[in-house]
Amino acid sequence: MAKKKKNEEAAEIVMTDGTGYRYGGGIKNVPHNLAVDMRRNKMVYILLALILVFFIIFHYIPMAGIVMAFEKFSITKGIFHSKWVGLKNFKDFFGGPYVGRLIRNTVAIGVLDLVLNFPAPIIFALILNEIHQKRAKKTIQTISYMPHFISAVVACGLVVKFVEAGGPISEMIAAIKGTKSVNLLNQKQNFWLIYVLQNMWQGIGYGSIIYLSALSSVDQELYEAAYVDGAGRWRQMIHVTLPSITPMIIMMLILRMGSIFSVGADKILLLYGPANYEYSDVINSYVYRIGIQEANYSLAAAVGLFNSIIGTIMLITTNQITKKVAGTSMF
């Protein structure tokens, strides 16, 4: 009895490590003092502060520019002294001659990009996961990652050369059809597919990284149990691999849905031309022309705000749907 009592007393001894963390019975108690935690994890808080400063400077302070969407902005008067015009800029946009094609092209490219380029990295990651020869796997990964690091100017320049009359892709398609080689970008109906396939070429390898990371954390005992039950590699992928990474897929889908209206203007501007304006002009390229080339900052701000509102609605809606259907959500 005396020995047992002595051991119990020893377990209750409280030790400190000089930072305020208390240890009782070998179990580390969670600190309740923020200052103590900041001293202990100084570098973590410094990194967090840098990230917060970045977002404040480049994301939150610029939000003051939203006011321009409701003004007739004047550079000399500034944001807070320009004439207030209410919803006039929004009416000008929706009453303009290009609103129909802008929304159509933005939605079409965004949806086509989602349908083709969202599952592509997942499928690619699943294929790579089935390759067990390390050298072959690393070679394929390196080759697939490289296009992501090519600048948009160079990538679009390559695409233009490949699809112009006499280019390798144009020649191949002409040989299949038995017709003369033509510039595919001058055929406006081809623009959506060319744009989306270029995104796939640049993004499929790099986009697979996050899924490969998720696959590396799948419990190997699940595969062993499935093998014992008679499941082949295909059934293991369907019943073990995919369910294990489903939460990650859902999270990426939610983020992707939030940016479905944010078709980037950079590649559009590098690929479009008079021959394909009808199918290549999107909301962001219109914002560039109105805001930068014509210096109509108020109308550009109004169109950008409309785009952001639609993206936010899509994000929240997708989050709620996945929360109810799959039980997984961002918030």
| Residue pointed to by tokens 């119990």 | 8
* Tokens of residue 37, six digits: 């935690």
> Rounded to an integer, what distance in angstroms lies between the CA atom of residue 14 and that of residue 244?
42
| Tens-digit pLDDT string for the chain (331 aa) | 554 444 444 444 444 444 444 444 444 454 458 888 888 999 999 999 999 999 999 989 988 888 999 999 988 888 888 999 999 999 999 998 889 999 999 999 999 999 999 999 999 999 998 888 889 999 999 999 999 999 999 999 999 999 998 899 999 999 988 888 899 998 888 999 999 999 999 999 999 999 999 998 888 898 889 889 888 888 898 889 998 999 999 999 998 888 888 888 889 999 988 888 899 999 999 999 999 888 899 999 999 899 889 989 999 999 999 988 888 888 8
pLDDT at 202: 93
The residue count for the chain: 331
pLDDT at 32: 59
pLDDT at 12: 44
DSSP labels, 217-256: TS-HHHHHHHHHTT--HHHHIIIIIHHHHHHHHHHHHHHH
Pick the CATH number of 93-325 from 1.10.3720.10, 1.10.1740.10, 3.90.1580.10, 3.90.180.10: 1.10.3720.10
pLDDT at 169: 92
Dihedral sign from CA coordinates of 235, 241, 242, 243: positive
Dihedral sign from CA coordinates of 302, 93, 111, 190: negative
CB 20 within 8 A of CB 33: yes
Residue-range domain boundaries for the chain: 1-32, 41-86, 93-325
DSSP SS3 for 111? helix
Nearest to 280 by CA among 290, 295, 293, 267: 267
3-state helix, strand, coil in the chain (%, to 5): 70, 5, 25
Facing residues of 83 across strands? 72
| Residue pointed to by tokens 């499929």 | 204
